[in-house]
Structure 1
Amino acid sequence: MGGTTSAGSSKKARKTYLRTVQSVQSTSSLLEGTRRDSPNIGFSKEEARRLHHPHDDALMVSIQAGEYNIHRVLVDNGSSEDILYYPAFQQMGIAKERLIPTSTPLVGFGGTTVYPLGTVTLVVTVGDYLQQITKDVSFLVVDYSSAYNDILGRPTLNAWKTVTSTYHLMIKFPTESGVGELRGNQVAARECYVAMMEMDDHLQAMNIEEQRTVVEPVEELEEV
């Protein structure tokens, strides 16, 4: 949570953000009967047969960003930001001068706070021709250990009007030529899960060793 979302970083901006949705809720009855511009989007049983079931795998896709095909991109409805991890940023050869500084932190599970290096805007294309979309996406660049290269969060998912199905490991979105789709990679999702768990074990082991070093006596103990 956090970052450069539409809620803003000040208390006043957050209160305004809350009031706007309250006003929409109170007038929702006026919106009934509004003409539907987008096609109906659904998922079929056939689209789930390519997967190993049962599963609890993450929805992980590949996208085209600029001149690069980026794999291990996590589709995360729970993220308030689109994230590009710094190692991927470096591999893409993007100049640091393109980073726009930001001081708004990201807050994760357990209250862990991470300050992004900045934001960078990339042209992202998803889907197959002709059912594809190309949009500018502003990523927060984060220097943090992860098995993922990218996270597609709510800003982009909502801008694309996507419908996600973690059961089918797919996202679908409306285009001018019909419904586009992007399938997840179940193998990559499990590889990343294993990598993240092993990474966590390694970090815990390091922390334990650091704590042992810190509490070593600075002189010989005296028995009392």
Structure 2
Amino acid sequence: MARINNPLIGFSEEVERRLHHPHDDTLVVTIQARDYNMHRVLVDNDSSADILYYDAFQQMGISREQLVPTNAPLIAFGGTKVFPLGVVTLAVTVGDYPQHITKNVTFLMVDCSSAYNAIIGRPTLNSWKAITSNYHLMIKFPTDYGIGELRGDQVAARKCYVAMMEMDDHL
């Protein structure tokens, strides 16, 4: 394969035709963390941290001994403090071969209810040199072999939204 330097990243109308419009859906993707396909991952450009929820952590079969202690609280929407159980670094792969990348992502692991398994925030998006488009529900990023893509799942985004609203009703 030919190596491509400084590729341009853009979004086409063809991508947008695959979606139901109009929409205000969040960008929800599937990533590969270790050898585990993790669905329902929220991409949040406003998050200053990458978050892994405890339920997903357990499903992946990772030992709690792999957690590195941390005492830095997260400040949630509304100012509530959430204290992580620790941090764990996982190899995350996104994109399809050969336009894929694998990077280590350090997740803060939290034990609270969520319809999502994880949140990818600015630290990872910046390490991927990613460009996100909420309108196109897609992430694009440079690879050694062209532009990699990670498409959002509009159906999963809507299911997560409903699930989060139902959780709020029970609080």
* TM-score interval (norm. to shorter): over 0.9
* 1:119 corresponds to: 87
Number of equivalent positions = 167
Match of residue 136 from structure 1: 104
Where does residue 91 of structure 1 map in the other structure?
A: 59
TM-score by length of 1: 0.74
Per-residue displacement from partner, 1:127-162 (whole Å, max 9, x unpaired)?
000000011111000011100001000000000000
Show structure 1 runs of 5+ residues with no match.
1-36, 204-224
Q: Could you report, residue by residue, the CA deviation over 1:79-100 in whole angstroms, capped at 9, with x for unpaired residues?
A: 0000000000011110000000
Work out the CA distance in 1 between the residues paired with 2:6 and 2:24: 30
Q: CA deviation at 1:176?
A: 0.2
Displacement of 1:59 in angstroms is: 0.2
Measured after TM superposition, the shift of residue 115 of structure 1 is 0.4
Question: Which AA in structure 2 matches 1:53?
Answer: H
- Structure 2 unmatched runs, 5+: none
- TM-score computed with the length of structure 2 as normaliser: 0.96
Q: CA deviation at 1:108?
A: 1.3
> Which residue of structure 2 lines up, in the alignment, with residue 153 of structure 1?
121
SS of 2:49's equivalent?
coil
Moved >4 Å (runs of 4+): none
- Structure number, greater radius of gyration: 1
Aligned residue for 1:51? 19
Q: For the residues of structure 1 that align with 2:117 and 2:76, how far apart are their CA atoms?
A: 17
The one-letter code matched in structure 2 to 1:195 is A
Please point out which of 68, 71, 82 is paired with 2:39: 71
1:166 to 134, 158, 161: 134
Q: Specify the SS of the correspondent of 2:38.
A: strand
Query: For residue 74 of structure 2, what is the aligned residue in structure 1?
Result: 106
Q: Which has the higher contact order (CA 8 A, sep 6+)?
A: 2
Quote the RMSD (CA, aligned, Å).
Answer: 0.7
CA distance in 2 between counterparts of 1:140 and 1:115 reads 9
C-alpha distance in 2 between matches for 1:110 and 1:47: 35
Which structure: greater helix fraction? 1
What per-residue deviation string (whole Å, max 9, x for no partner) do you get for residues 3-27 of structure 1? xxxxxxxxxxxxxxxxxxxxxxxxx
- 1-structure distance, mates of 2:160, 2:6: 34
